Structure 1
């Protein structure tokens, strides 16, 4: 039986996972997206053309790959349909779990209303209904793709859901779309989605039994994990490696290699602790050089130095055996480059993340900067200072760095074995 490999984000998302999946996907038969929703965004650059994916797995760019959206994903039907249409006929190449939950219009309205009610304590969500949809899933009140097969029963289910929503509507002073309008949207799109809906767990098990290769693709990042991230400023799903199992039906023993992905610096979208954040001119320089604006929302990302403590923590959570460092070229031209190697916490120096993470201050180690790495494709061709930076990151984190990206372009990757 063939085992699966996994690519997972090690920071607060936006690490560049899509490029790594794209770089490796040509050698796999299946690429599986296992959690999150269309709040995620993977950008891949092919011949200077940007391709943004929100729900479709990154293997869609390879004709040989079959692409699976697993049961752990929450799905906006319109987004899925529009995105899939841009890739032509995906019949036989796209498979969507019948157990995946559907984001409905009232989820989006509730998401925005809840966020507004939090005022200064807002999480910084995308407002796309992800959290409320996962909330309905956990409270056993959700709608799944399999429900599209019987619209009469589905209408009865949504009628029942709306009885509860009447109270919520008053609580948050919001206006919900009518049940009729929700059903009309579903009825218009269901026939176009249903041909892709299947039991993807059985599909993947059969592929394993045939010896076919599977690559699992995470969304967001480990520091946004619902259990192990910077709670409550996290996403609503399990973003670490264990989520690949619950979100696809694969067993823990089915996972062979876990590849972590991190930027050569650090970014975060939304609110929450970010110890190495740089405000002012330095943060803006990183933002502009790295094009740090959300693929999904266009929001400016907060930027700062590489946090080796957080990366080491996330690598341990995920069981990473190798790490890909992205966007090294963004640091080109900096006279000095900093790395957080510890924290000040309660009057002591620590090298771990405490549960009371809000009260840490970064301890930095400085490195000499370098001139130009953009487009370099061999390690020996990197400036000596950049080589030193990569080697020292590897020592500090304790995980082998196997890939280094030096531009957004698909082929600008240094493979280190």
Structure 2
């Protein structure tokens, strides 16, 4: 956490914070399948920051922050916006998301189900199609909307008709959409996984540079947010998943439901193979371990430390999803602590076995916890 007078945070997916141009920023990244508790970490870091910024993704995100017993659910705004001393920015340089992007997202999911017998489990918020528009250089940006509405309208019609040609069943009320956008324009603006089962935005540390438009040397601390166990929403390989009473207990104690979709999260033991890969990609300087107290009731706790394929340990995280779905997990078993730690506020207040669990994760990853 940044101290008074020191460089302060920047946060993709949950925001970013810094003091002056050129100062170092602190990055907060999810290290697992999502839902690690990034919003809470951002809110804590924002207490010592002047600026908090979100630079990736769309309104498919879900960050929950509880302040003075009031629960706030954020889908697009940076989580640190609750702090009255912080200036909040949204700097997401992607195309605007229109209703037909969301409709196309739903059609794509239906087509996958019909053609391949399975879909990706997306939130159907249109994030994939809008990034496709960006990559194809046909997307429309906020600056297009505010600079010349007549020109924007013509380009909007071209894009809408392209989507109608691709998806014949797609119905688009072009004039109705433009009318809504005109109302928004007149109201004013504050401008400021495993593939393919992934979000469409760039949620690695590299996304900070492209999303915020800053050079790599401006990045300081990189916090990897890690849930003390593992969860995943939707479809996709999940090697340490516990589709049994253990998973149900984790789900119940952790209240594991998606903030955006309300879907039940799949639950399992902590996966260090996955976390080592996330560390390799992002170079975390510290870990923010969340939801440790959910493990209070387990007499013993397993941690996935390696993957086996056909009986042999493989030395890497599989890039191929089909391979990942076939691996067998090698577990290390640690003793539980059978104590309520929800009121612990320092490391020293944790029981010895809980401390050992944290130290085991730090040692295996080579990254200190904070």
CA RMSD of aligned residues (A): 1.2
Counterpart secondary structure, 1:44: strand
> Which of these residues, 346, 357, 360, is aligned with residue 327 of structure 2?
360
> Which of these residues, 112, 119, 124, is aligned with residue 121 of structure 2?
124
Question: Can you list the C-alpha shifts for 1:335-383, whole angstroms capped at 9, x where unaligned?
Answer: 1111000011243113420223232111100111112211211212211
Equivalent in the alignment of 1:135: 132
Equivalent in the alignment of 2:199: 235
> Which of these residues, 45, 60, 71, is aligned with residue 39 of structure 1?
60
Q: 2-side partners of 1:386 and 1:261: how far apart?
A: 18
Q: 1-side partners of 2:32 and 2:160: how far apart?
A: 38
Q: 1-side partners of 2:162 and 2:38: how far apart?
A: 39
Bigger relative CO (Cα 8 Å, ≥ 6 apart): 1
- CA contact under 8 A between 1:309 and 1:397: conserved in structure 2? no
Question: Can you list the C-alpha shifts for 1:287-327, whole angstroms capped at 9, x where unaligned?
Answer: 01001000111110000000011111101211101001100
Moved more, 342-351 or 32-41: 342-351
Equivalent in the alignment of 1:382: 350
Equivalent in the alignment of 2:368: 400
Once the two structures are superposed, the pairs formed by residues 167-206 of structure 1 within 5 Å of their partners are: 167-170=165-168, 174-194=169-189, 196-198=190-192
Q: 2-side partners of 1:59 and 1:31: how far apart?
A: 6
2:100 aligned with 1:106: yes
Once the two structures are superposed, the pairs formed by residues 200-279 of structure 1 within 5 Å of their partners are: 224=193, 230-279=194-243
Counterpart secondary structure, 1:401: coil
Equivalent in the alignment of 1:296: 260
> CA offset at residue 47 of structure 1?
2.3
- CA contact under 8 A between 1:7 and 1:258: conserved in structure 2? yes
Divergent runs of 4+, >3 A: none
Counterpart secondary structure, 2:238: coil
- CA contact under 8 A between 1:268 and 1:303: conserved in structure 2? yes
- CA contact under 8 A between 2:160 and 2:172: conserved in structure 1? no
Q: 2-side partners of 1:47 and 1:71: how far apart?
A: 30
Q: 2-side partners of 1:260 and 1:145: how far apart?
A: 31
Equivalent in the alignment of 2:272: 308
What is the total number of aligned residue pairs between the two structures? 341
Equivalent in the alignment of 1:282: 246
Once the two structures are superposed, the pairs formed by residues 138-157 of structure 1 within 5 Å of their partners are: 138-149=135-146, 150-157=148-155
- Return the TM-score normalized by structure 2: 0.90
- CA contact under 8 A between 2:95 and 2:133: conserved in structure 1? no
Counterpart secondary structure, 1:197: coil
Q: 2-side partners of 1:298 and 1:71: how far apart?
A: 25
> CA offset at residue 48 of structure 1?
2.4
Counterpart secondary structure, 1:126: coil
Counterpart secondary structure, 2:325: helix
> CA offset at residue 192 of structure 1?
2.5
CA 1:175 to 1:354, structure 2 compared with 1: closer, same or farther past 3 Å? closer
Counterpart secondary structure, 1:256: strand
Q: 1-side partners of 2:32 and 2:343: how far apart?
A: 24
Q: 1-side partners of 2:105 and 2:298: how far apart?
A: 40
Q: 2-side partners of 1:102 and 1:270: how far apart?
A: 25
- CA contact under 8 A between 2:239 and 2:327: conserved in structure 1? yes
Equivalent in the alignment of 1:202: none
> Which of these residues, 20, 29, 38, is aligned with residue 50 of structure 2?
29
